[in-house]
């Protein structure tokens, strides 16, 4: 009988619920220059917070090697994230290495990056030149007071907009915008953001505020359901449902009825999509997590640094994925929410 691993790349390694490994999120740093209240609140992540020491963070060569192992197992999409990925020095060097990777069928990998946009102006061209295809920028409001309060460091909206303009000029398109909505903070920003993104031709995705990690003191009351977000937009700019782009797409997509574009809402809390979740997460320290709400991960850095071969690393990842049964959001309950979780900036949002 043929070695079943030969089929991994084409069919994708299935987990216990039949979900193939298709996406890898790679966190290149746990550090960030923002202190978003829903992710790294300033009161908990002060000057003396112990981020990962340099030696614990995967090098670019280590990341590229592991990424190749994942593409060999069927991953087709690589998303660079963090922390804030643009604070990692020489990031275009890593992008150039990852851009060379091929999916198992020989196609180029879909290589993208999520950023808070603050450092995009000088980096957009070098990232594009290195082979980055497109980009997602997180932006929670167009109002400086609201945005400043949410990013925790009074970072001005204008500089993120300037970063988006730089990304557009550099051809990092289509540009997606991620907006987390938190009750009492930025509901009033929903409509202005929707109008702006539509006028600018940007793909806007609203995200329900999630109970990742522990430090954001999450309460269900703080979640603005996707249905409410869409109703706010529909009241002013009428919407109709659009078909999902691909299996595993997490955003519910809606078209403006006047044909002027689309908007999405990611209902991770109110309409979980674990059944289609094909994502693995590689943290900056080389830990592999199979769920955003993971309570533990598997260390890939130690075997990698001990000289494991690609075949051995692939066997390890394969065994982790084939025993995966995560569906936290579907099981979200008082019982599970008391378990220790890993913070989002640490495992790569």
Footprint of ligand SF4 (CB under 6 A): 32, 34-36, 39-40, 82-84, 116, 138, 272-274, 277, 291-293, 326-329, 345
Using DSSP, state whether 187 is helix, strand or coil.
helix
**Which residue number, 293 or 321, has a Cβ lying nearer to ligand SF4?**
293
CA gap 208, 118 in Å, rounded: 22
Beta bridge partners of 298: 288
Sign of CA dihedral 60, 63, 65, 71: negative
**Which residue number, 115 or 290, has a Cβ lying nearer to ligand SAM?**
115
Candidate residues 71, 128, 178, 215; the one interacting with ligand SAM per rule CB under 6 A? 178
Q: Residue 196 is encoded by which pair of tokens? A: 């702006």
**Which residue number, 74 or 85, has a Cβ lying nearer to ligand SAM?**
85
Please report whether residue 209 would count as binding ligand SAM according to CB under 6 A.
yes
Please report whether residue 328 would count as binding ligand SAM according to CB under 6 A.
no
CA gap 281, 288 in Å, rounded: 6
User: Mask 115-134, x = binds ligand SAM (CB under 6 A)?
Assistant: xx------------------
Look at residue 329 and give the partner it binds from ligand SF4, ligand SAM, none, a contact being a CB closer than 5 to 8 Å depending on partner kind: ligand SF4
Please report whether residue 344 would count as binding ligand SAM according to CB under 6 A.
yes
Listed in sequence order, the residues at least 6 apart from 228 whose beta carbon sits closer than 8 Å to its beta carbon are none
Q: Identify whether the C-beta of residue 342 lies closer than 8 Å to the C-beta of residue 288.
A: no
Beta strands in the chain (DSSP E): 23-27, 77-81, 110-115, 134-138, 175-181, 203-208, 239-241, 252-256, 262-266, 279-282, 287-289, 298-299
Span interacting with ligand SAM, options 42-50, 79-87, 299-307, 321-329, rule CB under 6 A: 79-87
**Which residue number, 84 or 262, has a Cβ lying nearer to ligand SF4?**
84
Please report whether residue 345 would count as binding ligand SAM according to CB under 6 A.
yes
Tally of residues, the chain: 349
H/E stretch holding 118 reads none
Q: How many other C-beta atoms can be found within 10 angstroms of the C-beta atom of residue 53?
A: 8
Span interacting with ligand SAM, options 4-12, 61-69, 81-89, 90-98, rule CB under 6 A: 81-89
Closest residue to ligand SAM, judged by C-beta, is 349
**Which residue number, 95 or 344, has a Cβ lying nearer to ligand SAM?**
344
**Which residue number, 309 or 338, has a Cβ lying nearer to ligand SF4?**
338
Using DSSP, state whether 289 is helix, strand or coil.
strand
**Which residue number, 256 or 345, has a Cβ lying nearer to ligand SAM?**
345
Look at residue 40 and give the partner it binds from ligand SF4, ligand SAM, none, a contact being a CB closer than 5 to 8 Å depending on partner kind: ligand SF4
Q: Identify whether the C-beta of residue 178 lies closer than 8 Å to the C-beta of residue 207.
A: yes
Q: Residue 292 is encoded by which pair of tokens? A: 């955003």
Using DSSP, state whether 217 is helix, strand or coil.
coil
Span interacting with ligand SAM, options 12-20, 32-40, 53-61, 330-338, rule CB under 6 A: 32-40
Task: State the residues that interact with ligand SAM by CB under 6 A.
Answer: 32, 38-39, 81-82, 84, 114-116, 138, 178, 180, 207, 209-210, 212, 216, 344-345, 349
């Amino acid at each position: 009988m043929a070695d079943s691993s030969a089929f991994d790349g084409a069919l994708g390694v299935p987990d216990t619920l039949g979900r193939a490994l298709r996406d890898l999120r790679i966190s290149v740093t746990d550090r960030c220059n923002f202190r978003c209240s829903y992710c790294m609140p300033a009161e908990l992540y002060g000057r003396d917070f112990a981020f990962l020491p340099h030696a614990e963070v995967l090098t670019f060569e280590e990341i590229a090697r592991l990424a190749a192992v994942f593409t060999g197992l069927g991953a087709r999409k690589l998303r660079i994230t963090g922390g804030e990925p643009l604070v990692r020095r020489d990031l275009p060097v890593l992008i150039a290495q990852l851009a060379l990777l091929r999916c198992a069928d020989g196609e180029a990998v879909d290589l993208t990056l999520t950023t808070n946009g603050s450092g995009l102006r000088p980096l957009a061209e070098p990232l594009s030149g290195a082979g980055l295809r497109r980009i997602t920028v997180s932006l929670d409001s167009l109002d400086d007071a609201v945005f400043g309060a949410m990013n925790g460091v009074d970072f001005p909206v204008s500089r993120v907009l300037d970063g988006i303009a730089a990304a557009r000029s550099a051809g990092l398109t289509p540009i997606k915008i991620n907006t987390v909505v938190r009750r009492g903070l930025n509901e009033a920003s929903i409509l202005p953001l929707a109008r702006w993104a539509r006028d600018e031709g940007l793909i806007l995705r609203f995200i329900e505020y999630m109970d990742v990690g522990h430090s954001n003191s999450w309460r269900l009351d703080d979640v603005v359901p996707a249905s409410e977000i869409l109703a706010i937009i529909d009241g002013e700019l009428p919407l109709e449902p659009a078909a999902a782009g691909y299996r595993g797409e997490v955003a519910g997509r809606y078209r403006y009825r006047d044909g002027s574009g689309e908007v999405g809402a990611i209902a991770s809390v109110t309409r979980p999509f674990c059944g289609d979740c094909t994502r693995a997460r590689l943290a900056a320290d080389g830990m592999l997590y199979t769920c955003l709400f993971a309570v533990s991960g598997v260390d890939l850095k130690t075997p990698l640094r001990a000289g494991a071969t690609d075949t051995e690393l692939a066997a390890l990842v394969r065994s982790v994925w084939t025993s995966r049964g995560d569906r936290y959001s579907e099981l979200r309950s008082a019982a599970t929410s008391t378990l220790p979780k890993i913070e989002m900036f640490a495992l790569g949002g």
